[in-house]
Amino acid sequence: QVQLVESGGGLVQPGGSLRLSCAASRFTLDYYTIGWFRQAPGKEREGVSCISSSDGSTYYADSVKGRFTISRDNAKNTVYLQMNSLKPEDTAVYYCATDFSLGSSCPARSYEYDYWGQGTQVTVSS
C-alpha cells in the first residue's frame, strides 16, 4: 500500500518559518512527481508547490513564490517544503500527494493525484 506521511506543521508567528516533510513508503519517491497542496477552512484545496520526477523541476503558486522552497532527499525518500516569511493567510492543512501516471508533469489540480497523505496543520498567528 502506497503511503505518504506529512509532518512538521505547527503554530508559528507571522514572519516565522516551518519545514514540512513528506515521507514516502512502499515506493521510490524520486521516480514520481510530488505535489504539495493546502486547504483552509471553507476553501477549496489549492496547489502550493510541486517537484517533477524527471529533472527535479520545481513549481510554485504565485502566492508562495519567493517564500516557499520544495526539495527532495532521495536517500531519505522524503520531500520537504521549507516555508519562510509565513503569513496568516498561509494557515491551512497541508497535504502532499502523488500519482503514478503523471510522468514529469506537475499539475496544480488536486483531482489529478490519487495518493494523499493525512495532512499536517499549519497555523500562522500572533
The predicted pLDDT at position 19 comes to 98
- For the chain, report the end-to-end CA distance as a whole number of angstroms: 40
Cα dihedral 6/43/35/112 (nearest 10): 120
SS3 assignment, position 121? strand
pLDDT in tens, 56-102: 899 999 999 999 999 999 999 999 999 999 999 999 999 999 998 88
Over the stretch 29-57, which tens digit does the pLDDT of each residue have? 888 999 999 999 999 999 999 999 878 89
Task: Write b or e for each residue in 31-40: b if 16 or more Cβ atoms lie within 10 A of its Cβ, otherwise e.
Answer: ebbbbbbbee
Is the pLDDT at 1 greater than 90? The verdict is no
